[in-house]
Structure 1
Amino acid sequence: MTIQDHRTRVAAEKRERMRMRLIESALLVFSEKGVDAAVIDDVIAQAEVSRGTFYNYFRTNEELMAAVLLEVGNELLQLVEQALSTCNEPAQRLATALRMVLHTTRRYPLMGRFTSRVGIDLAVQNSLALVYLPRDLKLGIDAGRFQLSDPLIGLDLIFGAMRAAIYALVSRPKLPARYPEDVTYHLLLSLGMTKATARKLVELPIKPVDVPPDSLLGRTKHRHPLSD
């Protein structure tokens, strides 16, 4: 590695550390003030940075919120993917993942409020959902589990239904406990599964996602100091 390459790598690492510090600060502020608050001044104070430094990374409240959602959402998807690492059947993995995401949203409603506030175009940019969902949809189609002409159609169906379901979970707290199962069941039907098969998949037992308390998602419930 040349001296120039080393300097470029160090500069990129430093920039990413500052970006994550701002995101962590924003998460703490949003956790305290809610997603409707204008938080830029509070984030600058929390992160102990200059206004110019902040605007080098984010231009608006909405852009900051989208960045927080991306990091928290990808963290959740990685936890779900890890939990399902031994499941090799694509339809079961997809159904279980959808249920896990919805149940976790109920446990951590701030994430759901981020999703509801951020437009779908920003919510899915660089999301790991664009990696995991097409993979399982294609495998399910190839195995004859899903009756779709194109995995992208399934992706559209899932994104639309999941965003609506997440909004419902955070805005209608008295929804039945099995709401995630009901949503997943009807999504599986829309992907071409039979009622019997879809019902069997959503009745399989699942465990809650193991969310570390010091993770970004865990911090949406409890205030934690910023990482160094």
Structure 2
Amino acid sequence: MAASPDHRPRVAAQRRESMRARLLDAGLATIVAHGVAGTSIDEIISAAQVSRGTFYKYFDSVTGLASQLAQALAHELGMVLDPLVTEEADPALRVAVGSRMMLHFVRQHPIIGGLIVKSGWPDVDESHLFFALVRRDIASGIRLKRFEPMPLDVAVNMVAGVMLGGMQSMVAGAARSYPEQATLRLLRGLGVSAAEAARLSATRLPRPVLPHEGIVARAITPLAAHGAAHGAAPPDP
């Protein structure tokens, strides 16, 4: 008779992942309310109802937890935006649409951009979905001669610099036209003509729909509720 399978490793892994998610959710709620600098480990473990020792099994600091939150936020945004971007056959238009949608989203929801920027994101490598998608579209654009020939890492880092700087500017309250201006200059840097870059940077953007139970929605909802409670208008959808 075959021995019964030992489910203990799987159950233990599920428990670890459940606890990690619990701490991330508690950290998210606290950071949304107080910011990374204003959040302490004590506040997170109080919200999660766990011990300090449990926290240190998963994260080494509030900054470490915030960094993982930022990666999760960027990953989810990439998953939401990419189907809208890939509706376009032109890789130059894909880069323009994706860049502008991300920057406009951060302008509308600066708590997201603030968390991403302050956590030290991004490491521009294949482990980050957003930059894996950027790499795909730039490689296609170079192959199709929509962009000038250049080392792929140089082009991806160009996008990374514009996006990270753009997020910082959005958090600081940059003008509404900033995403279009930044995207236009990015396209020019990639070798697109001035007239074509201006056209691509002004195309109508699709409206992303966030998953109701996703981490981005959980980051935005408490902020909207907090603003409503104090008589402020909630962020743009």
Instruction: Give the structure-1-normalised TM-score.
Output: 0.88
Q: 2:199 corresponds to which residue?
A: 200
User: In the superposition, relative to structure 1, how do residues 43 and 109 fare at CA in structure 2: closer, same or farther (>3 Å)?
Assistant: same
Q: Runs of 5+ in structure 2 lacking a partner?
A: 224-237
Tell me if 1:211 matches 2:210: yes
The amino acid across from 1:20 in the alignment is: A
Q: Runs of 5+ in structure 1 lacking a partner?
A: none
Which of 1 and 2 has higher RCO (CA within 8 Å, sep 6+)? 1
- 1:12-27 residue pairs with structure 2 within 5 A? 12-27=13-28
Q: 2:234 corresponds to which residue?
A: none
CA RMSD of superposed structures (Å) = 2.0
Residues in 2 aligned to 1:204 and 1:27: alpha-carbon distance in whole angstroms: 34
Question: In the TM superposition, what is the alpha-carbon distance from 1:183 to its structure 2 partner?
Answer: 0.4
Question: In the TM superposition, what is the alpha-carbon distance from 1:98 to its structure 2 partner?
Answer: 0.4
Q: Secondary structure at the match of 1:223?
A: helix
Q: 1:58 corresponds to which residue?
A: 59
Paired positions, count: 220
Residues 134 and 151 of structure 1 are in contact (CA less than 8 Å); yes or no, is this contact kept in structure 2?
yes
User: In the superposition, relative to structure 1, how do residues 91 and 192 fare at CA in structure 2: closer, same or farther (>3 Å)?
Assistant: same
The amino acid across from 1:73 in the alignment is: A
- 1:123-134 residue pairs with structure 2 within 5 A? 126-134=127-135
Residues in 1 aligned to 2:124 and 2:141: alpha-carbon distance in whole angstroms: 25
User: In the superposition, relative to structure 1, how do residues 18 and 126 fare at CA in structure 2: closer, same or farther (>3 Å)?
Assistant: farther
Instruction: Give the structure-2-normalised TM-score.
Output: 0.85
Q: Secondary structure at the match of 1:3?
A: coil
Residues in 2 aligned to 1:182 and 1:35: alpha-carbon distance in whole angstroms: 29
Residues in 1 aligned to 2:117 and 2:32: alpha-carbon distance in whole angstroms: 15
Please identify, of 54-63 and 87-96, the stretch whose mean Cα deviation from structure 2 is larger: 87-96
Residues 103 and 208 of structure 1 are in contact (CA less than 8 Å); yes or no, is this contact kept in structure 2?
no
- 1:169-180 residue pairs with structure 2 within 5 A? 169-171=170-172, 173=173, 175-180=174-179
Q: 2:119 corresponds to which residue?
A: 118
Q: 1:3 corresponds to which residue?
A: 5
Residues 148 and 154 of structure 1 are in contact (CA less than 8 Å); yes or no, is this contact kept in structure 2?
no
Question: In the TM superposition, what is the alpha-carbon distance from 1:202 to its structure 2 partner?
Answer: 1.0
Q: 1:136 corresponds to which residue?
A: 137
Structure having the higher Rg: 2
